Amino acid sequence: MTRQNSFQAIEWTDSGLLLLDQRCLPHEQHYLCLQDAVSVAEAIRDMVVRGAPAIGITAAYAVVLSARQHLEHNPDNWQARVQQDVKKLAAARPTAVNLVWALQRMQQRLARSEAEPAACLLEEARQIHEADIEANHRMGGYGANLINKGDSVLTHCNAGALATGGYGTALGVIRSAWAAGKLVNVYAGETRPWLQGARLTAWELLQDDIPVTLVTDSASAFLMQGGKVQWVITGADRVAANGDVINKIGTYSLALACRYHGVKMMVAAPLSTLDMAMPDGQQVAIEQRPTDEILKFSGHALAAAGATAWNPVFDVTPASLVDYLVTEAGIVAAPDREKLAELHDQAPVGHSSSQNS
């Protein structure tokens, strides 16, 4: 596979599925070898792997593990057992539409009742993985073409090779623009409470010798006010039919600050992230994670005893605040319902999101 980054976060082996445990970064590069779908669902839920495309790819490989396990131990009803595992995987991180999209792809392949089903499912999972990497490279090129020489960018959370099959969505654009000699500075918001920007994006860019400057999330608007960035570039966990973007909490506030300060807002997301069955972002159920992620850090209390917390993982950025949506099929300026419907209709079979997701 063509990656053009110096590490692999997801790798299939004969022994099982290797996942780079992102909870241990940046201090330790530790891989888990998972051999059953239930363990993969737990890894997705526990943030061993995160990022919408990466979650979808990981779940696809988990279906292969499920088929191998149940073909060996439950040959008479193995398909029913696989379907049970698929339900567990789908419930692991429900906001990311790529998860359901990838599982639907695997179920469609499973339904063909081919000889050697585990091998056929592995072929499908590898196709999903390879297609994501290729899509990221195309997005990187398209997005980099929008950037002027001498520009600086700010990114949020981690939308790189760690969050995808390889290369990255938002970081794919940044990688391509950096390679073209266009960027002066790359800023990364630290991204509370999991610090994906500080722990993951900074680590990933430095692995590929791209200098990065961290800023606190609350400093982003002041950075824009000083004219230090011309672009904010993020990924997306889901894009609704009207162009609303569901992404890591904090994306909405960045988009508002961008509009006020005249900074361009670019969202880089594969076609598999488009959810044409979701009319707008307000209809999406936003995942809530445990309050201890805010009240504590590494097991130590940060807040005053008795304080409570609100911990939504994602927010909704209205389409009207997005200047450019970049996909592997091209650039959509000022995305709206009509433009996304046209993009969806023109997308190659197997690359667009399901109408039933």
Q: What angle do CA 8, 108, 44 make, to 5 degrees?
A: 40
Helix boundaries (H) for the chain = 37-45, 52-73, 78-90, 97-110, 117-146, 170-179, 196, 202-207, 220-225, 251-261, 292-295, 337-346
Q: Residue 355 above 50 pLDDT? A: no
pLDDT at 3: 52
pLDDT digits 0-9 by tens, 248-259: 999 999 999 999
Per-residue pLDDT of 101-111, as tens digits, reads 999 999 999 99
Burial class of residue 15 in the structure, from the number of CB atoms within 10 Å of its CB (0-12 exposed, 13-18 middle, 19+ buried): exposed
What is the pLDDT confidence band of residue 6, given thresholds at 50, 70 and 90? confident
Lowest-confidence segment of 187-191, 271-275, 320-324 by average pLDDT: 271-275
Q: What is the DSSP string of 101-146?
A: HHHHHHHHHHTT--SSHHHHHHHHHHHHHHHHHHHHHHHHHHHHHH
Q: What is the pLDDT of residues 155-176, one digit of tens each?
A: 999 999 999 999 999 999 999 9
> Start-end ranges of CATH 1.20.120.420 in the chain?
10-134
Q: What's residue 351's pLDDT? A: 46
Res. 225: pLDDT tops 60? yes
pLDDT of residue 348: 58
According to the model, what pLDDT value does residue 2 have? 53
Q: Rounded CA gap, 197 and 73, in Å?
A: 42
Residues of the chain with CATH 3.40.50.10470: 146-346
8 A C-beta contact, residue 192 and residue 217: yes
Closest CA to 82 of 99, 59, 63, 109: 63
Q: Report the pLDDT averaged over residues 341-356.
A: 60
Do residues 17 and 61 lie in contact, with contact meaning Cβ atoms separated by under 8 Å? Answer: yes
pLDDT-derived band at 121 (thresholds 50, 70, 90) equals very high
Q: Dihedral sign, CA of 83, 88, 91, 92? A: negative
Which tokens hold the place of 43? 């890894």
Looking at the predicted structure, is the pLDDT value of residue 95 above 90? Answer: no
CA–CA dist 44, 71 (Å, integer): 24
Tell me what pLDDT residue 114 has. Answer: 76
Tokens linked to 300: 């130590």
Q: Any idea of the CA torsion for 154, 46, 5, 264, to the nearest 10 degrees?
A: -20
Query: Residue 352's pLDDT band (boundaries 50, 70, 90)?
Result: very low
29-43, 60-74, 107-121, 213-227: which has the minimum mean pLDDT? Answer: 107-121
C-alpha 146/C-alpha 231 separation (Å) is 10
Note the pLDDT of residue 182.
98
pLDDT for the residue numbered 113: 67
| 8 Å CB contact between 91 and 100 | no
Q: Is the pLDDT of residue 293 over 70?
A: yes
Domain 146-346 has what CATH class? Answer: alpha beta
Task: Determine whether 313 is exposed, middle or buried from the number of CB atoms within 10 Å of its CB (0-12, 13-18, 19+).
Answer: buried
Which band of pLDDT confidence, cut at 50, 70 and 90, is reported for residue 5? Answer: low
pLDDT cut 90: percent of the chain above it: 87
Q: Look over the chain and give the mean of its residue pLDDT values, rounded to a whole number.
A: 93
The model's pLDDT over 26-38, given as tens digits with 9 standing for 90+, comes to 999 999 999 999 9
Q: What is the pLDDT of residue 18?
A: 97
The terminus-to-terminus CA distance of the chain in angstroms comes to 28
Q: How many CB atoms lie within 10 A of CB 191?
A: 24
Cα(225)–Cα(207) distance, rounded to whole angstroms? 30
Q: What is the pLDDT of residue 112?
A: 86
Query: Which residue among 237, 275, 315, 323 is the active-site one?
Result: 237
Q: Which CATH number fits domain 10-134: 3.10.440.10, 3.40.50.1000, 1.20.120.420, 3.90.550.10?
A: 1.20.120.420
**Among this protein's residues, is 275 annotated catalytic?**
no
Could you tell me if 263 and 255 are in contact, meaning their C-beta atoms sit under 8 angstroms apart? no
Q: Kindly indicate the confidence band of residue 320, based on its pLDDT and cuts at 50, 70 and 90.
A: very high
Q: What pLDDT was estimated at residue 354?
A: 35
Q: Is the pLDDT of residue 356 over 60?
A: no
Q: What angle do CA 80, 86, 89 make, to 5 degrees?
A: 150
Mean pLDDT of all residues in 108-115? 85
**Predicted confidence band at 75 (pLDDT cuts at 50, 70, 90)?**
confident
